[in-house]
Structure 1
Amino acid sequence: MSDDSSLLTTSTIPTKSAPWLGLSILLLAGFVTIFDLFVVNVAIPSMQVGLGASFAQIGFIVAGYELAFGVLLITGGRLGDLFGRRRLFIVGMAGFTLASAMCGLAPSADFLIVARVFQGLAAALLFPQVYASIRVNFNGDDSRRAFGLLGMTLGLAAIAGQVLGGWLVHADLFGLSWRTIFLINVPIGLFAIRAACCIPESRAEQRPALDWIGVILVSSGLTLLLVPLIEGPGQGWPAWSLWSLGGAAALMATFYWYQERQRIAGRLPLVDMQLMRQRRFALGALLVLLVYSTSSSFFLSFALLVQTGFGLDPFVAGSIFAPCSVGFVLASLTAPRLVARWGTRAIVAGALVYAVSIGLLITQVQKAGAELAPVRLIPMLIVVGAGQGLIMTPLLNLVLGFVKENQAGMASGVISTVQQIGAALGVAVVGILFSTALAAGDGAAVQAGQYASAFVAGMLYNLGAALLVCLLLLILARAQRSTN
Structure 2
Amino acid sequence: MTVDHPPATSHVPQTAAKTRPSALALTILLLGGFITVFDLFVVNIAIPSMQADLGVSFAEIGFVIAGYELAFGVLLIAGGRLGDRHGRRRLFALGMAGFAITSFLCGIAPDATSLIVARLLQGATGAILFPQVYALLRVMYDDAGRRRAFGLLGMTLGLAAIVGQVFGGLIVESDLFGLGWRIIFLINLPIGIIALLSARIIPESRSSDAMGVDWPGIGLATAGLLLLLLPLLEGPNLDWPLWTWASMAVSVVLLTAFLVWEHLVARRGGDPAIDLTLFRNTGFSVGSVVVLLIYSTATSLFLCFALLVQSGLGLTPFAAGTLFAPASVGFVVASLVAPKLVARFGNIAIAGGTLVYAAGIGWLIVTAAGLGDGAGIFALLPPLVLFGFGQGLSMTPLLNLVIGYVEESHAGMAAGFISTMQQVGGAFGVSVVGIFFVGILGKDAGEGVSQAGRYADAFSGAMIYNLAAVIVAAALIALIVRKSPARQ
TM-score class, shorter: over 0.9
Aligned pairs for 1:203-218 (under 5 A) are 203-218=206-221
Distance 1:261 1:19 in 2: 45
Unpaired segments ≥5 residues, structure 2: 1-5
Match of 1:452 among 449, 456, 460: 456
Distance 1:442 1:68 in 2: 34
The residue aligned with 1:63 is 66
Distance 2:484 2:215 in 1: 36
Distance 1:17 1:483 in 2: 34
Residues 86 and 129 in structure 1, CA contact (< 8 A), matched pair in contact too: yes
CA RMSD of aligned residues (A): 1.6
Distance 2:152 2:37 in 1: 14
Shift of 1:454: 0.2
Residues 34 and 154 in structure 1, CA contact (< 8 A), matched pair in contact too: yes
Shift of 1:13: 5.3
Normalised to the residue count of structure 1, the TM-score between the two structures is 0.97
- 2:330 counterpart of 1:314: no
Aligned pairs for 1:166-177 (under 5 A) are 166-177=169-180
Shift of 1:91: 0.5
Aligned pairs for 1:206-355 (under 5 A) are 206-355=209-358
Distance 1:195 1:349 in 2: 45
Aligned AA for 2:319?
A: V
Aligned AA for 1:87?
A: R
Spell out, residue by residue over 1:289-311, the C-alpha distance to the aligned partner (whole angstroms, 9 max, x if none). Answer: 00100000000010000000011
Spell out, residue by residue over 1:206-255, the C-alpha distance to the aligned partner (whole angstroms, 9 max, x if none). Answer: 02332111111111111111111111211111122111111111111111
Match of 1:461 among 455, 465, 487: 465
Spell out, residue by residue over 1:379-435, the C-alpha distance to the aligned partner (whole angstroms, 9 max, x if none). Answer: 110110010001112000111111111101110110000000000000001111100
- 2:398 counterpart of 1:406: no
The residue aligned with 1:190 is 193
Distance 2:320 2:487 in 1: 47
Aligned pairs for 1:102-121 (under 5 A) are 102-121=105-124
Spell out, residue by residue over 1:317-355, the C-alpha distance to the aligned partner (whole angstroms, 9 max, x if none). Answer: 000011111111111122111111111122111111111
Spell out, residue by residue over 1:163-198, the C-alpha distance to the aligned partner (whole angstroms, 9 max, x if none). Answer: 010000110111111011111111111111011112
Shift of 1:205: 1.3
Residues 17 and 200 in structure 1, CA contact (< 8 A), matched pair in contact too: no
Q: Secondary structure at the match of 1:402?
A: coil
Distance 1:338 1:139 in 2: 28
Aligned AA for 1:449?
A: G
Q: Secondary structure at the match of 1:207?
A: coil
The residue aligned with 1:437 is 440
The residue aligned with 1:12 is 16
Aligned pairs for 1:86-165 (under 5 A) are 86-165=89-168
Distance 2:100 2:450 in 1: 42
Pick which of 44-53 and 209-218 moved more: 209-218
Q: Secondary structure at the match of 1:203?
A: coil
Residues 2 and 74 in structure 1, CA contact (< 8 A), matched pair in contact too: no
Aligned AA for 1:213?
A: P
The residue aligned with 1:41 is 44
Aligned AA for 1:242?
A: W
Pick which of 34-43 and 364-373 moved more: 364-373
Shift of 1:447: 0.3
Distance 1:458 1:372 in 2: 21
Aligned AA for 2:482?
A: R
Shift of 1:480: 2.8
Distance 1:17 1:344 in 2: 37
Residues 4 and 407 in structure 1, CA contact (< 8 A), matched pair in contact too: no
Q: Secondary structure at the match of 2:372?
A: helix
Distance 2:76 2:377 in 1: 37
Distance 2:175 2:23 in 1: 36
Distance 2:317 2:234 in 1: 26
Residues 17 and 198 in structure 1, CA contact (< 8 A), matched pair in contact too: no
- 2:437 counterpart of 1:428: no
Aligned AA for 2:170?
A: W
Q: Secondary structure at the match of 1:456?
A: helix
Distance 1:6 1:157 in 2: 26
Q: Where has structure 1 moved over 3 Å in runs of 4 or more? A: 1-6, 481-484
Shift of 1:82: 0.8
Distance 2:420 2:91 in 1: 19
Residues 367 and 379 in structure 2, CA contact (< 8 A), matched pair in contact too: no
Q: How many residues are treated as equivalent by the alignment? A: 482
The residue aligned with 2:3 is none
Distance 1:433 1:482 in 2: 36
Q: Secondary structure at the match of 1:204?
A: coil
Identity of aligned residues (%): 54
Distance 1:270 1:25 in 2: 29
Q: Secondary structure at the match of 1:94?
A: helix
Residues 16 and 205 in structure 2, CA contact (< 8 A), matched pair in contact too: yes
Residues 218 and 251 in structure 1, CA contact (< 8 A), matched pair in contact too: yes
Aligned AA for 1:435?
A: V
Shift of 1:17: 6.7
Distance 1:148 1:25 in 2: 15
Distance 1:351 1:208 in 2: 36
Residues 93 and 199 in structure 2, CA contact (< 8 A), matched pair in contact too: yes
Residues 283 and 486 in structure 2, CA contact (< 8 A), matched pair in contact too: no
Distance 1:392 1:208 in 2: 29
